[in-house]
């Protein structure tokens, strides 16, 4: 088993910089998700890892092998495409067999007719058949092997595409939004299956997606890319609760994180509308900063309590949770709070409330978007 490393990858088409010095090192057997909005360069990065595209700068390593100059076929990497890219003229079984036939048979053995005259060809073919069937069984598509892609549903095609990638036990898997063409139900189901497959095979996997929930739920580590830069590469928990950049905080999490503009005061506290929200911020007094807190970090209190004053605009009951939309007093900002349904019943539309958050849940970002450290971390900030 070997790890997959992309080191210092840059790529530009003319003045359009697709990738800027991106470095991602996946440990052997690790499941790494590349996530970002469309156009952030994640698919280009995957294609560079596969050898389908070439980087202007940087290198691609599989374990100790430098693959930068290798052709795709020499890299021992399998890829699952967004469109599945199954050969339409071959049956599912033949589709899965192609990578094995290309690897294990010589050019003469592959020729129809002449190939049959070759000794040993029969044994290899039987072996290929056996392995195709084995793979198909593990994906529960063994009953579909005689069908052509045109006769299969999207979910079935997706499995065949997975089978074609799995069958030759490659050193690394690349997946380019493999679930985006499935309907919502099937997507959640297949998500779990891919994770299960990865656990069993233990092959290093690079998984591209634009769906942050997919990335958080599947990956061992998540790489967040925005505008061709790698902004953060961390565990899902780290990405979510400890974002290194305001764009990461904005992109990850649903509903979106609440962001408010504030200012650093002389005592290194952050104030919004004159009220102190965080203390000990590592920034010069007078700089403007952005304060973020997740919807679930917000606590609502009665108006007489200290905190930001606001009024309730809308309440959305979602079953397991309730979303409360709050208009901040004195400004146009609207915040979202995620409450337990039982807590939300205490509030009514139009009611004045105060907003509170534990200071460890308050994230402060500087003007350039970078995260600013806050100390001390464990204090409830609610005093005005």
Contact flag: residue 71 with another protein (CB under 8 A): yes
* Residue 82 CB burial class (10 angstroms; 0-12, 13-18, ≥19): middle
Contact flag: residue 88 with another protein (CB under 8 A): yes
Contact flag: residue 83 with another protein (CB under 8 A): yes
Are the CB atoms for 141 and 193 separated by under 8 Å? no
Contact flag: residue 17 with another protein (CB under 8 A): no
Q: How many residues bind another protein (CB under 8 A)?
A: 27
- Residue 299 CA to residue 139 CA, distance in Å, equals 46
Minimum Å gap between C-beta 101 and another protein is 9
Interhelix angle 154-166/92-104, nearest 10 degrees: 20
Strands (E) located in 27-133: 31-35, 57-62, 65-66, 77-80
For the four alpha carbons of 67, 73, 76 and 78, in that order, the dihedral sign comes to positive
Q: How many C-beta atoms surround the C-beta of residue 5 within 10 A?
A: 19
Residue 263 tokens, joined = 């200012």
Contact flag: residue 99 with another protein (CB under 8 A): yes
Q: Beta 308-317 vs 363-365: how paired, if at all?
A: unpaired
Site string for another protein, 127-166 (x = CB under 8 A): ---------------------xxxx------------x--
Site string for another protein, 339-378 (x = CB under 8 A): ----------------------------------------
For the four alpha carbons of 59, 62, 63 and 64, in that order, the dihedral sign comes to negative
Tell me whether residue 71 or residue 284 sits nearer to another protein (CB atom): 71
Q: Which stretch binds another protein (CB under 8 A): 24-32, 73-81, 216-224, 366-374?
A: 73-81
When binding is defined by CB under 8 A, the residue of 70, 98, 118, 315 that contacts another protein is: 98
Residue 164 tokens, joined = 């074609």
When binding is defined by CB under 8 A, the residue of 10, 23, 82, 242 that contacts another protein is: 82
Q: Which residues bind another protein (CB under 8 A)?
A: 47, 50-52, 71-73, 77-79, 81-83, 85-89, 98-99, 102-103, 148-151, 164
């Amino acid at each position: 088993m070997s790890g997959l490393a992309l080191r210092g990858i840059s790529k530009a088409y003319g003045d359009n910089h697709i990738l800027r010095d991106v470095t991602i090192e996946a440990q052997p057997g690790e499941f790494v998700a590349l996530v970002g909005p469309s156009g952030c360069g994640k698919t280009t990065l995957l294609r560079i890892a596969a050898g389908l595209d070439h980087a202007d700068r940087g290198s691609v390593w599989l374990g100790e092998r430098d693959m930068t100059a290798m052709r795709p076929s020499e890299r021992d990497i399998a890829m699952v495409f967004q469109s599945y890219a199954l050969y339409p003229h071959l049956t599912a079984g033949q589709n899965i067999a192609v990578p094995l036939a290309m690897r294990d048979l010589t050019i003469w053995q592959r020729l129809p007719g002449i190939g049959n005259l070759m000794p040993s060809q029969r044994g290899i073919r039987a072996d290929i058949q056996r392995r195709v069937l084995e793979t198909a069984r593990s994906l529960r598509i063994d009953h579909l092997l005689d069908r052509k892609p045109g006769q299969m549903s999207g979910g079935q095609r997706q499995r065949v595409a997975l089978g074609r990638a799995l069958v030759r036990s490659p050193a690394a898997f690349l997946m380019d939004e493999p679930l985006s063409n499935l309907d919502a139900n099937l997507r959640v189901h297949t998500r779990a299956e891919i994770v299960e497959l990865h656990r069993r095979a233990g092959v290093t996997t690079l998984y591209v997606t634009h769906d942050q929930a997919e990335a958080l739920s599947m990956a061992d580590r998540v790489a967040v890319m925005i505008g061709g830069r790698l902004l953060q590469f961390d565990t899902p928990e780290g990405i979510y609760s400890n974002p290194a950049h305001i764009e990461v905080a904005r992109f990850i999490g649903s509903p979106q994180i609440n962001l408010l503009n504030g200012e650093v005061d002389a005592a290194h506290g952050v104030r919004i509308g004159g009220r102190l929200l965080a203390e000990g911020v590592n920034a010069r007094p007078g700089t403007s900063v952005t304060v973020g807190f997740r919807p679930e970090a917000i606590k609502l209190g009665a108006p007489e309590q200290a905190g930001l004053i606001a009024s309730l605009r809308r309440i959305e009951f979602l079953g397991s949770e309730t979303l409360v939309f709050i208009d901040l007093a004195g400004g146009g900002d609207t915040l979202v709070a995620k409450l337990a349904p039982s807590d939300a019943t205490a509030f009514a539309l139009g009611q004045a409330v105060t907003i509170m958050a534990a200071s460890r849940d308050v994230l402060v970002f500087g003007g350039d978007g970078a995260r600013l450290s806050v100390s001390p971390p464990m204090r409830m900030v609610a005093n005005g």
